[in-house]
Amino acid sequence: MPNETETAASAARRGQQDSRSPEGLLEGFHAETPLGSVAFGICTNDDGTAQAVTDPCLRAALRLGRAEALIRQLEDWLGVPLDLEPGAMPPPRDDHLRVTWTPPGSDTGAAVKKAVMHLPLDALAHLAAPPAALAAAMRWAALPCEVMVSNALVPHRQLALLEPGGLMLVPASFEPFWRCQARLCAHPALAFSAELDAGQQRLIFEPYASNTAHQPAAHPAAETPAADAELVDIVLRQRLPIAVDRLTGWAEQPLFELGRTLAAFEVEISSPRGVLAHGDLMPVGNGYGVFVRAITTTQRQP
């Protein structure tokens, strides 16, 4: 049975690890900001001083001191102060972005080996591209996205003709540039415009040139629906994991490879009434159409 001295030592060791990240040796911190709650984890190079400190608050302060230059860069980019306090680094959450910062030479004497930051998804509505020096060491996590390949006004009489075995054209696919959108599944109001390159089976995202809010991207069909028509979306049924720096166009090459031909994708045809039909993309002349496989029974009547 452990004696009291051993029990106290074990408790002290547990207390020292309270702010450690489950990812390993990251020291955890958090800050409340105008952008929302930010979590921050760092792993620093040091001469053993911080590791030898038994007081967790003092050790955390020493680690923050070594990361001060990085924290200042992040504050300049975010546009908000990071008043970091020790706290456990939480696991990734669906409503947060995760970005990892690993500088070149991080294992050969750099002050910081690695940093991880979790930001609320809403922060994207207020951020511009990170400065080049900061971005070069940043790696963004991929987030599940719904890709809308077409959005158009369709007369009710045409929608009434939808049936299994029928074909519905994808209007956007016949344009010189096939414009589409990727929307975050966890935050559908954040939509990012892209060009769908059908020949290369990839999405090419448009970069944001200034620090402007990422408002929900305008629908390609901007007209007000008439009484005899409704706005219809055609979306890929498969949710695609796309890295944030590609979605925003911040990456040097903001491309996302679909990994298979468009004809291999199932799609949904939907409107404000709900999902109208399921089908598959198929080539039609210089564009694409949806081969309808099933009509849903859950749609609301216009």
Q: What pLDDT score was predicted for residue 52? A: 57
Q: How far apart are the first and last CA of the chain?
A: 73
Report pLDDT for 107.
57
- How much is the pLDDT for 90? 83
* Beta bridge partner(s), residue 86: 29
Burial letters 85-113, b for 16+ CB under 10 A, else e:
ebbbbeeeeeebbbbebbbeebeeebbbb
The pLDDT value given to residue 8:
36
Structure tokens at 218: 């305008």
Weakly modelled stretches of the chain, pLDDT under 70: 1-25, 46-56, 105-110, 208-226, 297-302
DSSP calls for 117-136: EEEEGGGGGG--PPPHHHHT
User: 3-class SS at 241?
Assistant: strand
Domain ranges of the chain: 17-140, 143-295
The DSSP 8-state label assigned to residue 160 in this structure reads T
- Answer yes or no: pTM beyond 0.85: no
Q: What is the dihedral of CA 23, 24, 26, 27, to 10 degrees?
A: 110
Quote the pLDDT of residue 106: 53
Beta bridge partners of 30: 39, 85
DSSP code, position 226: P
What does the pLDDT look like over 57-100, one tens digit per residue? 777 788 888 889 999 999 999 999 999 999 888 887 888 999 99
Q: What is the structure's pLDDT at 168?
A: 95
What does 247-289 look like in DSSP terms, one character per residue?
A: HTT-SSS-EEE-SS-GGG-EEEEEETTEEEEEEEEEEETTEEE
